[in-house]
Amino acid sequence: MTTPQDVLKMIRDNNIQMIDLKFVDMPGIWQHLTVFHEQIDESSFTDGVPFDGSSIRGWKAINESDMAMVPDPNTAWIDPFMQEPTLSLICSIKEPRTGEWYSRCPRVIAQKAVDNLVSSGIGDTAFFGPEAEFFIFDDVRFDQNSHEGYYHVDSIEGRWNSGNQESPNLGYKPRYKEGYFPVSPTDTLQDMRTEMLLTMAKCGVPIEKHHHEVATGGQCELGFRFGKLVEAADWLMTYKYIIKNVAKKYGKSVTFMPKPVFQDNGSGMHTHQSIWKDGQPLFAGDKYAGLSETALYYIGGILKHAPALLAITNPTTNSYKRLVPGYEAPVNLAYSQGNRSASIRIPLSGSNPKAKRLEFRCPDATSNPYLAFAAMLCAGLDGIKNKIDPGEPLDKNIYELSPEELAKVPSTPGSLELALEALEKDHAFLTEPGVFTEDFIETWISYKLDNEVNPMRLRPHPYEFALYYDC
């Protein structure tokens, strides 16, 4: 554990001039305030640093705009992208007048999920390991106004450029669905991914690997070790920050949009998770795939609440363009030890009980990780408390099932609107434990409808012109 005194010593020893205080807004984007080092002292780590919260997305309903960001000393790292020596600290949000943690702060909600786990007596530690995929593009343009709307993304690796005049075109373009994972020269992003991974290590993220992903056009993934719930969310935010800024150095752009390329695989965020108590794993046992009864009940909770859960783990209209059959997408609300079309997979763990875990394959990295991990834990704990049976595993090839068999397998919601409707009907598993508030759920649903679902309804789609212009 790092103490405030350790951080202050780090500032002195490294001649740090500036402190960059980062916090996450409701949709999941880092915001920041940079202060001169003399503005930070021991009291900053308890009382926080004041700021105006009135313009932060999803926080507009607060009566008083004065808020305080409280840095976590365990999140200190020197920012590799700043010209002047700058220390980065991740913060949670307090209401300075009452001293209470702010109920709409996602990092606060994540900590409340951990506190709920402990108070339940079921476990004391929740481990999460997200696998966030992304695209690296060479060019991106988009616009929307009253008489036109378009997007354009491009990549030197895009198969669509196989006939392009590139002076010269070397011809090494990953085929659609075949980007996993040929060596250089087809893979042009090796050195960039290595720099991304090593930069993450310098910022305290426990790195593992990197590789090209399935889609053409620059789809990639970097891997880091699992961590405790809040810690893993901090690492994922750092992951996204570093990947985007290293790509910027190379003159490239990164997106975590689930489906930026038509007719190829989308980007997900398969999320590994397990619960421990007193240093012992609770998911290893003698049931299906080496799971414990506790693990099966946890799966039952995830599957039961999945339609509502996806409103938080898959929170964009674009998320549901990934969750369609045929692109390795986990559209079936079932569990399996090998079937990757099932929404929950049990990874191979050998004889090591500490490696026993489940992988929820639906989420994507447009989600706010603090909210997503907290919601998944709440759903799983609800399954354990109420002994929810997950049913039989889906070990058959989904594409070989008869229509009668397929009809028995529930599917993920087909749109963000449907997921939000499910959340409106089913959110007691989030609010009754005191992790999410009714106010937050109402704000989340109204924000998503007002700012994303309804605006999409109003706008003509380019493909509609191809379908209907000559009517």
Q: Which stretches of 155-268 are assigned E, i.e. beta strand?
A: 207-212, 219-224, 227-228, 253-255
Residue 238 burial (C-beta neighbours within 10 Å; 0-12, 13-18, 19+)? buried
Reading the block at residue 122, the tokens are 């079921």
Chain centre distance of CA 64: 30
Specify the DSSP class assigned to residue 102.
P
Q: Which stretches of 43-138 are assigned E, i.e. beta strand?
A: 49-52, 66-71, 77-78, 86-95, 100-101, 125-137
SS3 385: helix
CA distance 175 to 154: 15
Q: Which neighbouring-strand residues pair with 88? A: 20, 77
CA distance 336 to 324: 19
Sign of CA pseudo-dihedral 97, 99, 103, 104? positive
SS3 454: helix
Would you say 278 and 232 are in contact if contact means Cβ atoms under 8 Å apart?
Answer: no
Point out the residues that are catalytic. Answer: 52, 131, 133, 213, 221, 270, 340, 359, 361
CA-nearest of 234, 231, 238, 211 to 223 is 211
The phi and psi torsions of 131 (rounded to 5 degrees) equal -120, 90
